[in-house]
Structure formats: C-alpha cells, structure tokens
Amino acid sequence: MSDLGRQSMTDKASSALKPDSQKSTTEHIGDKAAGTYDRVADTLQPQSEKSTTQKAGDHLRSGSDETKDQSKSVAQTVSDTVSNAAQAVKDTVSGNTGSNKEL
C-alpha cells in the first residue's frame, strides 16, 4: 500500500513491466507525469511520515535513478572520447595539428 497521493507499488511495477513499444503516447505522458509527481512527493514528504512500504519503494526507485544517471555519465564519456578521437583524425588528415610552428 502506498501513502496518500503517492503511486502504488503495483502501479509502478505494471508500468515498468509493460514494454514502451506497447504503450500509447498517452500512457508515456501519464507515466512521465506520475513518476515526476512521485519524485517530488518523495522529496517533500518527511521520512518520519512515510509507511515502511513507501520508504522501500522510494529507496528502490532512487537506486534505479542513480544507476540511470551513472549510465548516462558513462555514455557521455564514451561519446566525448569518440568525438575527440574523430576530431583528432580530422585535424591530422587536414594537416591542422594545432601547432603554430612554421616549417
């Protein structure tokens, strides 16, 4: 059972288990809005007022959020590295090595 105004564990699970490819645009928007509202409620509701179930659900979701953030960070690092390598190859091919020395 969830706290008043919060997304239930059952709703969270059913939304997470249904593949995005099978969701309508309305469902995607609803999931995003419900998730955002629940994150705000998690932040605003004092821990002392949360049920044990709600605390557990919030903890699991925050762990999932952190994993997503770390994945984005790794993906961004890889993207930056590939971009920098591509630029270095471009510079080498065009003869622009960044050196201002005249030969």
* Torsion angle (degrees, nearest 10) of CA 16, 62, 34, 50: 120
Q: Note the pTM of the prediction, 2 decimals.
A: 0.41
pLDDT in tens, 23-71: 899 988 888 888 787 777 777 778 787 878 777 777 777 765 556 556 6
Please give the share of the chain, as a percent, with pLDDT higher than 70.
Answer: 76
Residue closest to 64 by CA, chosen among 2, 22, 15: 15
